[in-house]
Amino acid sequence: MKRLGIIILLIGLLGINSISFAERLDRIVAVVKDQVITADQLNSRVAQYKAQIAHSGHTPPPASILRKQVLQRMIYQKLQLQLAKQRDITVDDLMLNQAIKNIASRNHIPLEKFKHAVEAQGISFKHYKQQLKQQLIIQKLQSEMVGKTISITPEDVAKAKRKLASKADAVKDYHLYNILIALPDVPTSEDITAAKKHAEAIIKKLKHGADFQQIAMAQSAGPQALQGGNLGWRKLGELPSVFTKYVEKMKSGQIKGPIRTGNGFHIIKLAGVRGRSMRRVVTEYHVRQILIKTGPMLSAKQAKLRLERIRKLILAGGSFKKLAEGNSHDQRSVNKGGDMGWVAAAQLEPMFAQHIVHLKVGQLSKPFHTAIGWHIAQVLGHRRVDDTKAFLTLQARQMVYRRKFMEKRQMWLQSLRENAYVKIMR
């Protein structure tokens, strides 16, 4: 249940876009472009975060500080939802329901009990679905605005592979916490001096026994602030490059900083290190699929119905190959009758892999949804192979992507905030 609580905490509670009559009577605490955040909305969010932080085993920061941190998060989320609306980025009910099924499955909770598990965390299921929908929209927006701008060159991958292959530290995972004292896009010398002094004052407190996570929740400007600055377990190459020269020399429990980056000064704490073997033997699946992508001319409901009809034809003896060639939107496999060849689960889109690994040989899946579109798939065979070389390449590429995504997302969010009209009421 603790894992579920963390999931719910990570999903931001956002205010509704339209302003009702009751909201007009409520005190406005912030204006974000042409929308507002009311005191009632902020109080509700603060109460939930307070409960979730306590549920995770930590002591929430003082009410005034928690309120300030939560308001900043609400502002960032509202700005992103506004931009997503401008760009016509949406999540329909079918996609939302599929996401709920996936969350329940990952937490090993039967779907029929999931609603009760959510409500046991102090939030109505209706409100939870609203939060999840908004978070999915934000994920799609970040993928478009940040993910699609990331360029990974063969040299990037080769460099990461050399690091993985040659350094024992590169195959370790590091559990890191981070506090960010932010700087504006174009800081003055006074801004830099003040931020550095602030960071140095925090480090002094930490060295005298202050709780890192408490200070992160109270003062960090990073996106993980309300999780105590927890960056989770990461490989060395997934961390911001400016961190790596410190992290690989740090001992568990050690704190380093202030570390200057483009967006401010960081203070990092290494919570733990764990090793992993580079050799990997995996199950590969011989898979074929038919993919239907949604868009302005084809809704998710229509895509699902279309695949259900195709599935019935295949089960009645129709040719998967011919139906794939005539219907699939997967450009990589359509000319091969949907045949994707032999693939390991880690090479597939996560939600696609989750369905594939449970299929028996010859079994045809029901239509299912991923971030790419709607699919039906069939596994033609299984085999065990030594995947170490391919895994090394995949790990290297993922390391580079995650590092660049983390760095670019923080800069993008900061720029989004600084280029928008935001007024906090006193």
Strand ordering across the sheet containing 339-344: 339-344, 281-292, 374-386, 368-369
Which structure tokens are listed for 266? Answer: 């960081």
- Helical axes 388-418 vs 154-166, angle rounded to 10°: 120
Is the link from the previous residue into 350 a cis peptide, with omega within 30 of 0?
Answer: no
Q: Reduced to 3 states, what is the DSSP secondary structure of residue 248?
A: coil
Q: How far apart are CA 3 and CA 246, in angstroms?
A: 30
pTM: predicted TM-score of the whole model, two decimal places: 0.58
- The two beta strands, 255-261 and 230-235, are unpaired
73, 9 contact by CB (below 8 A): no
46, 54 contact by CB (below 8 A): no
Instruction: Determine the pLDDT at residue 278.
Output: 61
Domains of the chain with bracketed CATH: 2-145 (1.10.4030.10), 168-277+392-424 (3.10.50.40), 281-386 (3.10.50.40)
Q: How far apart are CA 229 and CA 267, in angstroms?
A: 10
Q: How far apart are CA 135 and CA 50, in angstroms?
A: 20
169, 236 contact by CB (below 8 A): yes
CA atoms 170, 175, 180, 185: torsion sign? positive
Taking residue 383's Cβ as centre, other Cβ atoms within 10 Å add up to: 10
For every one of its 426 residues, what pLDDT tens digit does the chain have, with 9 covering 90 and above?
444 444 444 443 333 344 444 444 578 999 999 899 999 999 988 888 888 787 777 778 888 888 889 999 999 999 999 999 999 998 888 889 888 988 888 888 888 888 888 888 778 899 889 999 999 999 999 999 999 899 999 999 998 888 776 654 446 789 999 999 988 878 899 999 999 999 999 999 998 888 999 899 988 988 888 888 999 888 887 788 788 888 888 888 999 989 998 889 999 999 988 876 566 678 999 999 999 998 888 898 999 999 999 999 999 999 999 999 999 999 999 999 999 999 988 788 888 998 999 899 999 999 998 888 999 999 999 999 887 787 788 888 888 998 899 889 988 998 999 899 999 987
Q: How far apart are CA 391 and CA 404, in angstroms?
A: 20
11, 100 contact by CB (below 8 A): no
Which structure tokens are listed for 43? Answer: 């109080």
Q: Reduced to 3 states, what is the DSSP secondary structure of residue 12?
A: coil
- Give the up-direction half-sphere exposure of residue 358: CA atoms within 13 A in the CB hemisphere: 7
Q: How far apart are CA 363 and CA 360, in angstroms?
A: 5
